[in-house]
Amino acid sequence: MPNQLAFLMLILWPFVALVLFRRFSPAQALIWTLLAGYLLLPPPPAKFDFPLMPPLNKENIPSLAAFAIVATTLRGQFELLPRSWIVRGLLLVFILSPFATVATNTEPVFFGVAGLPGLRFVEAVALMVQQAILILPFLLGRAILAQPQDQRAILMALMVGGLVYSVPMLIEIRLSPQINTWVYGYFQHYFNQMVRFGGYRPIVFLYHGLWAAFFAMTAFIAALALYKGSHNRNASGYLIAAGYLGVLLFLCKSVGAALYGIVLAPLVLLLGAKTQIRLAALLAVLAVAYPVLKQVDLVPINQMLDQAARFDTERAASLKFRFDNEDILFERAALKPVFGWGSWGRNHILDPATGLITTVTDGRWIITLGVFGWVGFLAEFGLLMSPLLALWSVVRRKGADVQILAGPLSLLLAINIVDLIPNATLTPLTWLIAGSLLGAAETARQGYRAPVQEKLRTVL
Number of neighbouring beta carbons within 10 Å of residue 416: 25
d(CA 162, CA 120): 43
Query: In whole angstroms, what is the distance from residue 460 CA to residue 458 CA?
Result: 5
What's the pLDDT at 453? 39
Query: SS3 of 325, please?
Result: helix
Task: Report how far residue 439's alpha carbon sits from residue 343's, in angstroms, rounded to the nearest whole number.
Answer: 32
- Coil, helix or strand for 351? coil
pLDDT of residue 428: 97
Residue-wise pLDDT tens for the chain (460 aa)? 899 999 999 999 999 999 999 999 999 999 999 999 999 999 999 999 988 788 999 999 999 999 999 999 887 788 889 999 999 999 999 999 999 999 999 999 888 777 888 999 989 999 999 999 999 999 999 999 999 999 999 999 999 999 999 999 999 999 999 999 999 999 988 888 888 888 999 999 999 999 999 999 999 999 999 999 887 767 889 999 999 999 999 999 999 999 999 999 999 999 999 999 999 999 999 999 999 998 888 988 889 888 888 877 877 888 888 899 999 999 999 999 999 999 888 999 988 888 888 998 889 999 999 999 999 999 999 999 999 999 999 998 876 777 889 999 999 999 999 999 999 999 999 999 999 999 999 998 876 444 433 333 333 3
Is residue 331 packed enough to be buried (19+ CB in 10 Å), middle (13-18) or exposed (0-12)?
exposed
pLDDT of 452 reads 38
Task: Identify the pLDDT of residue 456.
Answer: 37
- Residue 299's alpha-carbon distances to 28, 285, 287, 292, in angstroms, are 41, 14, 11, 9
Other beta carbons within 10 angstroms of residue 427's beta carbon come to 22
pLDDT value at position 447? 62
Specify the DSSP element, H or E, that contains 111. strand 109-111
Q: How far is CA 453 from the centre of its chain?
A: 43
Instruction: Print the SS3 string covering 277-323.
Output: HHHHHHHHHHHHCHHHHHHCCCCCHHHHHHHHHHHCHHHHHHHHHHH
107: helix, coil or strand?
A: coil
CA 199, 200, 203 angle in degrees (round to 5)?
165
User: Phi then psi for 110, rounded to 5 degrees?
Assistant: -130, 140
Chain mean position to CA 210: 13
Q: CB–CB of 153/145 below 8 Å?
A: yes
98 within 8 A of 127, measured Cβ to Cβ: yes
pTM: 0.94
β partners of residue 196: 199
Phi and psi, residue 335, nearest 5°: -75, -25
pLDDT for position 76: 75
CA distances from 456 to 358, 451, 453, 459, 460 (A): 73, 15, 9, 10, 12
446: which residues sit within 8 A by CB, 6+ positions away? none
